[in-house]
Structure 1
Amino acid sequence: MARMRLNGMQELTRGLDQRARGANRDVQNIIRKHGASMNRRMAKNAPVDTGNLRRSIQLNLTNNGFTATVRPNANYASYVEYGTRYIYPSPYVRPAFYAEQELVIQAFRNMMR
């Protein structure tokens, strides 16, 4: 009967855990950086009458930093974005999202190299 012995499994496991923690930090940094950038883009693109809409835009990081949510909290925000039958739309959320989307994808591609 043949026997096989594996040496260094604990070191291998420890090394893989360290790499995974480093990758998690990299992902969290990308999410935080691009969430803040999207927040700035939305605020810059938001039309200003009283400034309430611009001030209502907030960034929330959840899920241990793996999720960034940027949204306006003004109750009329969707009317400005999509318009009504009385006012033309002034998109500020979608352009910011689409511009930042490409940058996030590129950041993750660079991280995987």
Structure 2
Amino acid sequence: MSVTFSGDKELLNALEKMARTEVYKEVVKKNGAALQRTAQRKAVFKKGYSTGATKRSIKLDLASNGLRAVVKANTDYSGYLEVGTRKMEAQPFMQPAFNEIQPKFIDDLRRAGIVK
């Protein structure tokens, strides 16, 4: 008597994909939190009236079922701080934070075997 299984390769592929997705979610969550902390650390403004509102408003949102991390400063004027205006010099905090975390994120993806 013999037993034949069909579809086992598809099942293994699906399980492998699910495992990679979970690993990817963990990497996204870890690096999203690191980006939030780094942006908060860099959101120190020396000009004008610094109240700390922008720093406190920086939040992490895990979107797309954990496949995407969105870090955002939720003050109405955070964009003006980041890029400046014609009368106010830029005091960037999000772009430098992103530039600091991006290589670590890519390295984590490589170590997890998600990116070559």
- Would you call these one fold, judging by a TM-score over 0.5? yes
> How does the TM-score come out when normalised to structure 2?
0.84
Question: 2:11 is matched with which residue?
Answer: 14
Instruction: Tell me the distance in 2 between the aligned counterparts of 1:82 and 1:47.
Output: 15
Unmatched runs of 5 consecutive residues or more in structure 1: 1-6
Corresponding residue pairs, total = 107
Q: Kindly indicate whether residue 37 of structure 2 is the aligned counterpart of residue 36 of structure 1.
A: no
Question: 1:108 is matched with which residue?
Answer: 109
Trace 1:57-76 onto structure 2 (pairs within 5 A): 57-76=58-77
How far is 1:20 from its partner?
1.2
Paired letter, 2:101: E
Q: Which has the larger radius of gyration?
A: 1
Of the structure 1 ranges 92-101 and 77-86, higher mean CA displacement relative to structure 2 is found in: 77-86
> How does the TM-score come out when normalised to structure 1?
0.86
Paired letter, 2:14: D
Higher helix fraction (1 or 2):
1
**Identical pairs, percent:** 28
Instruction: Tell me the distance in 2 between the aligned counterparts of 1:25 and 1:9.
Output: 26
Instruction: Tell me the distance in 2 between the aligned counterparts of 1:24 and 1:84.
Output: 41
Q: Following TM superposition, where does structure 1 have runs of at least 4 consecutive aligned residues deviating by more than 4 angstroms? A: none
Instruction: Tell me the distance in 2 between the aligned counterparts of 1:9 and 1:35.
Output: 40
Instruction: Tell me the distance in 1 between the aligned counterparts of 2:6 and 2:103.
Output: 40
Instruction: Tell me the distance in 2 between the aligned counterparts of 1:58 and 1:95.
Output: 16
